[in-house]
Amino acid sequence: MAKALEQFLGRLEQASNLDDLQDLILDLRGMVDVDHTVYHWVSSDGEQYGCGTYPPEWVQHYVENDYIRIDPVVQGCYQRFHPVDWKRLDWSSKSARAFLQNALKHGVGNQGLSVPIRGPNGQFAMFTVSHHCSDEEWAAFIEEWQRDLIVIAHYFNQKALEIAGDRAPERTKALSPRETDALTFLAMGYGRGQVSEMLAISEHTLRVYIESARFKLGAANTTHAVAKALAEGLILIGGAARGSAGDWPGRKQAAE
């Protein structure tokens, strides 16, 4: 699965228009094996953009009925930064219940998880997966996928901002020297314990630096982050790498 996620993020990085994003979100649905995957950007003037696998009739119906004003998911995500399980929301009002019935009729599913995202200048978007299953199955799904989905949601939004043009965020790719050092040593094949020793920081601190660097690089995991940093020339490993060619007088004897 890690490989599939890496490939997915690689393709996301190459995406250059909305059609690409639509293809990607379709593939993501297959990858995480849910009924629907949806990206929904709400601009401050109330315009809505997005892509995803909801039936077009439902999307049309949603816009026509101005459901954005009563959709508990939008209310529950707006001004929040934690991922929202739909079951936690308040569906008790008459309008919310009618909306839910309609959504179910259109096959949206009885379960959902939405990740709120904030971009520059108050930009707001949600990344949603929805599905038909029991509460137990959904809890297990969230346990397995929540973190990956949070990260994918943010990468997806960065790409959407980039495609939208004028509001493109500056790529937060700049790694600090410490992050560069950490990734360099990992690329050279040292374990985390050794790397933290070499940098004179705790392993815990190293994990936080790597987590942050991974997000800046748009990577699926640590190995992927190292590979990307190498491929993009952000880190260089030269002759000092273990196992590389080269010799030094007396080195062999010293190793014996």
Partner 1 sequence: MLRYVYADQLDQFPRLRDTMFRDRADQFRTRLGWEVEVDDNGFERDQYDDLNPLYVIWERADGTHGGSMRFLPTTGRTMVNEHFLELMDGVHINSPLIWECTRFCLNRNSESRVAAALMLGGGELMRAFGVKHFVGVFDARMVRIYRMIGSSPTVLGASGEGRTQISVGLWDYTADDRAKVIERAGVRSALSEAWFESSFGHLPEMRMTA
Per CB under 8 A, residues contacting partner 1 are 79-83, 85, 87-90, 118, 135-136, 139-140, 143, 146-147, 150-151, 153-154, 172, 174, 176-179, 201-202, 204-205, 207-209, 211-212, 214-216
* 54 and 106 Cβ atoms separated by less than 8 Å: yes
Q: Which is nearer to partner 1, 80 or 105 (CB)?
A: 80
Q: Which is nearer to partner 1, 61 or 118 (CB)?
A: 118
Q: Which is nearer to partner 1, 27 or 148 (CB)?
A: 148
Q: Which is nearer to partner 1, 4 or 150 (CB)?
A: 150
Residue 229 C-beta: closest distance to partner 1, Å: 15
Residue 3 C-beta: closest distance to partner 1, Å: 21
What token pair was written down for 43?
């601009």
Distant-in-sequence, close-in-space partners of 214: CB < 8 Å, separation ≥ 6: 221, 222, 224, 225
Q: Which is nearer to partner 1, 8 or 138 (CB)?
A: 138
Residue 31 C-beta: closest distance to partner 1, Å: 18
Residue 109 C-beta: closest distance to partner 1, Å: 15
The C-alpha atoms of residue 215 and residue 115 are separated, in whole angstroms, by 16
CA 17, distance to chain mean position in Å, is 18
Q: What is the spatial order of strands in the sheet that 111-118 belongs to? A: 48-52, 36-42, 124-131, 111-118, 84-85
Residue whose entry in the numeric block shows the structure tokens 């009729």: 105
Residue 198 C-beta: closest distance to partner 1, Å: 13
Residue whose entry in the numeric block shows the structure tokens 């599913």: 109
